[in-house]
Structure 1
Amino acid sequence: MARPRTFGVRALLTDPAGRIALVRHHYIAGWYLPGGGVDKNESAEEAIRRELAEEVGLADVEIAGLLGVYHNRSQAKDDHVVVFVARVADPAALHAADAREIAEAGWFAPDTLPEGTSPATRRRIAEHLAARQGHGVW
């Protein structure tokens, strides 16, 4: 049975110190960029703003641009994921806003990412640090 194609968003969110926001979910092991699915009649930008508010409690976020658009076919998925580059002025506001979904949220220096950071998350961070626009396989 084929899975339906989905459309998702993630944010490579940085603070003034250059740290990157990551989240750990209750339902899957590892650390990830915050984000989620795009709802019907919702733009990708509206979705990432909603997801950042829901997951990490941030409403005042500057969307600086796009890191890239990726296709995730792992684990029988057929997902297209848009990764935004975003900034926040007040890093203290970051927290696990939805305790049912997010076990933990935190800021991490790119050279000290937590154990269990997903390989795709590490690839997106490396692209960002190299000032490369990403695309292709998640």
Structure 2
Amino acid sequence: MSQLWRYIKTIMGIVFRHPITGATIIPVLPDGRIVLIRRQDTGQWGLPGGIVDWGEDITTTVKRELREETGLELLEIRRLVGVYSSPDRDPRIHSISVLMEANVTGTFSVKDTLEVLEVEAFLPDELPLGNLSHDHDRQLADYFQGLTILA
């Protein structure tokens, strides 16, 4: 019984005391516009993305989250922009976000209406910067500067 209890405590420690890993995407349409989602919880614009599900790799997460939040399909991941792990980057939980630029295609269709109000594509100089959700202002600034960040 004590062996089982140690196992249960270890699992609880992993689940409740460690950051959650997620993927965040800078989706770029063929015409160069960048796709953002308007979040249901805050009303702010932000980059699509979400938590890596058990058994998924990052690429699978990117494909799934793009489909659920924007209706778009992944053509290719172009580059890793950074890994963001600051404990205050997401007001809900301590999460680690792997940010990548991706070429995407398709038609907007929000499937996850509990999280997303709307989807819109912006030319780079028309992005609603300054009040994006989470740390997405910083992520986009790093992207436009051509940086690869570990933060």
TM-score range, shorter chain: 0.7 to 0.9
CA separation of 1:131/1:71 partners in 2, compared to 1, >3 Å: closer, same or farther? same
4+ aligned runs moved over 3 Å, structure 1 = none
Deviations 1:86-118 (A, max 9, x none): 01245xx12323223210111012222237423
TM-score by length of 1: 0.84
- Within 5 A, what are the aligned runs for 1:1-138? 4-74=18-88, 75=91, 77-90=93-106, 93-114=107-128, 116-118=131-133, 120-136=135-151
Which stretches in structure 2 are left out of the alignment for 5+ residues?
Answer: 1-15
- Identity over the aligned pairs, expressed in percent? 32
Which stretches in structure 1 are left out of the alignment for 5+ residues?
Answer: none
The CA distance in 1 between the partners of 2:37 and 2:28, in whole Å, is: 13
* Higher gyration radius (CA): 2
The CA distance in 1 between the partners of 2:92 and 2:35, in whole Å, is: 27
Secondary structure of 2:30's counterpart equals coil
- Pick the structure with more helix per residue: 2
- Aligned letter for 1:34? P
Q: Quote how far apart the aligned CAs of 1:76 are.
A: 6.9
> For the aligned residues, what is the CA RMSD?
2.1
- Aligned letter for 2:98? V
CA separation of 1:78/1:45 partners in 2, compared to 1, >3 Å: closer, same or farther? same
The CA distance in 1 between the partners of 2:118 and 2:108, in whole Å, is: 10
Secondary structure of 1:61's counterpart equals strand
Secondary structure of 2:73's counterpart equals coil
The CA distance in 1 between the partners of 2:69 and 2:92, in whole Å, is: 25
Q: Which residue of 1 aligns with 2:4?
A: none
The CA distance in 2 between the partners of 1:20 and 1:103, in whole Å, is: 17
- Aligned letter for 2:82? G
Deviations 1:59-100 (A, max 9, x none): 24321121111103114732111011101245xx12323223
For this pair of structures, how many residues does the alignment match?
133
